[in-house]
Amino acid sequence: MPFVRIQLKEGRTPRQKEALAKGIIVLMEEQKFADSKAIKVIFEDMAPEDFYDGQTME
């Protein structure tokens, strides 16, 4: 059972996440990576204050 974990800044709507998850599942099934019923997509939302990158240093 493959798990696809997506970490992103919070702010996407449930509808956006659902559309992305469905697209990933369809693509994985088309590529014969796994049966769609076995694929799990997990979103991990991060608050803006929990995310830093090189631009934050400037």
Contact of 10 with 48, CB cutoff 8 Å: yes
Q: What is the CATH number of the domain that holds 13?
A: 3.30.429.10
- Structure-token pair, residue 38: 């076995």
pLDDT tens-digit map of 1-58: 999 999 999 999 999 999 999 999 999 999 999 999 999 999 999 998 888 887 766 5
Q: Structural domain of residue 21, as residue ranges?
A: 3-57
Structural domain count, the chain = 1
Residue 23 amino acid letter: G
Measure the CA–CA gap between 43 and 29, rounded to whole angstroms.
Answer: 19
| pTM (predicted TM-score) | 0.82
Give the rounded distance of the alpha carbon of 40 from its chain centre. Answer: 10
Residue 18 amino acid letter: E
